[in-house]
Amino acid sequence: MPEQRVARLTVLIDPRKKAVFEALCRREDMTPSQVVRRMIREFIEARTGSPWDPDRIAPLSGETLPPSVKGPGSP
């Protein structure tokens, strides 16, 4: 099942940093959203030690996910 891309993340950054980031994304023929999604996935994988699997959402120990994030069949 493909990932849902409906949650929004708003980040405030320096306008000059944003301009450089967007220019570097264009050089790589990627959108800023693609790059941020990849960075988040790599961050999750590095911290959890597991490959990202959008069908298996597992909160960190002791944490719960809000109902809007839980997929079908999630406890």
User: Each residue of 17-53: pLDDT tens digit?
Assistant: 999 999 999 999 999 999 999 999 999 999 888 888 8
The reported pLDDT for the residue numbered 22 is: 98
Give residue 39's domain range: 15-48
Q: Phi-psi region for residue 61, left (φ > 0), alpha (ψ -120 to 50) or beta?
A: beta
What tokens does 69 get? 């994030």
Residue 66 lies in a domain: no
* CA–CA gap between residue 27 and residue 25 (Å, rounded): 5
pLDDT for position 50: 86
Residue type, 32: P
Tell me, yes or no, whether 61 lies in a domain: no
The answer to the question of residue 36 being in a domain is: yes
pLDDT of residue 35: 97
Our count of domains for the chain comes to: 1
Residue 5 pLDDT level (bands cut at 50, 70, 90): confident
10-13: long-range contacts, CB 8 A cutoff, minimum separation 24: none
pLDDT band at 61 (very low <50, low <70, confident <90, very high): low
Question: Model pTM?
Answer: 0.72
